[in-house]
Amino acid sequence: MIPIADIRAAAGRIAGKVRRTPLLATTGLKSSLPGQVVLKLECLQVTGSFKARGATSKLGTLTPDLLKRGIITASGGNHGIAVAYAGYLAKVPTTIYVPEGVSPLKAEKIKGYGAALAIAGRHWSESNTAALAHVEHDGLTYFHPFADNAVMAGQGTLGLEILAEDPAIDTFIVAIGGGGLIAGMASAIRQLKPSARVIGVEPVGAPTLHDSLRAGKVITLPAIKTAVLTLAPLRSDEMNFAIIKDTVEKIVLVTDDDMRAAAKLLWMELGIAADLSGAAGMAAILSGKYAPAAGERVCVLVCGAGADGVT
């Protein structure tokens, strides 16, 4: 696990650079949800997702000499926006590699922070290969989207915030891409409230950690069959796998249509504009893939903003 001291240190590094986002009760819905569901609105985070936490945490660990050379990453969208934001804060050259199917709105956000946008490959793993070749050639500092202690510690600050505001939470439902968010959050949650449950959510078309846990080792998916590129690496990392194996109770799988339906509900009934990854946690409940017990207090992370439920 990421030590709680490291997560608290990350909270200090990101203070003043990110927002403390609200918790929202899911009252006023046309059909009631099982249990007591509250939403952590990281879709209201600066840059539009939780990724700003990890990127600014990583930024705070770099020396001026490293920063001067520039920073770089590969992303399905949200992490790229966050690293572009970090580069904007530090006023250093920033390059973001993205796959061909990246959301045009996310690409525009990346460029809006002054970063160079490079399109490479059909999915994150291919974009990442191109980014790493660029790192080797130019000596830039690479911001890994999930397999980095400083990044995971930054994401873990969500666990600190939620439990400080609502210590009665029994269960946390968290979307999984590469596994950095859930590894950081679960590290904080298990150390602060060992009785709490952490449930992961992945797309049916990209069950990277689900299948790795079932196999007992990190596996590489043969193909990606989801449109949700922010949740679609072919492979996670040994570091994330080890933490998730020890801290996450189970991972449930939702379809792209489940996520679209959840995004639509979030917009139509709660006025929350979430991208499909941001709607994944709600999709797990609406589809019945995770069914809270009566009285169970559940925190669903709405991890990213977007117009998927609006259009």
User: What is the phi/psi pair of residue 84, to 5°?
Assistant: -60, -40
The pLDDT tens digits of the residues spanning 85-127 come to: 999 999 999 999 999 988 898 899 999 999 999 999 988 889 9
The pLDDT tens digits of the residues spanning 4-32 come to: 999 999 999 999 999 999 999 998 788 78
Rg, C-alpha atoms of the chain = 18
The pLDDT tens digits of the residues spanning 58-90 come to: 999 999 999 989 999 998 888 999 999 999 999
State residue 136's pLDDT score.
86
Say how many C-beta atoms besides its own lie within 10 A of residue 217's C-beta: 10
How far, in Å, are 75, 161, 264, 269 from residue 142 at the CA level?
12, 27, 35, 40
Task: State the Cα angle at 240 between 236 and 241, rounded to 5°.
Answer: 75
Which option is the CATH number for 4-50+148-302: 1.10.10.10, 3.40.50.10800, 3.30.43.10, 3.40.50.1100? 3.40.50.1100
How far, in Å, are 36, 275, 282, 287 from residue 272 at the CA level?
18, 10, 12, 19
State residue 232's pLDDT score.
86
233 touches 206 (CB < 8 A): yes
State residue 123's pLDDT score.
84
State residue 307's pLDDT score.
86
Q: Is the pLDDT of residue 311 over 80?
A: no
pTM of the predicted structure, to 2 decimals: 0.92
Mean pLDDT of the residues in the chain: 94
The pLDDT tens digits of the residues spanning 135-163 come to: 988 889 999 999 999 999 999 999 999 99
Partners of 198 in the beta sheet? 172
**What fold is seen in the domain 52-142?**
Rossmann fold (3.40.50)
Q: How far is CA 118 from the centre of its chain?
A: 21
4-50+148-302 with 52-142: one CATH topology?
yes
Q: Where are the domains of the chain?
A: 4-50+148-302, 52-142
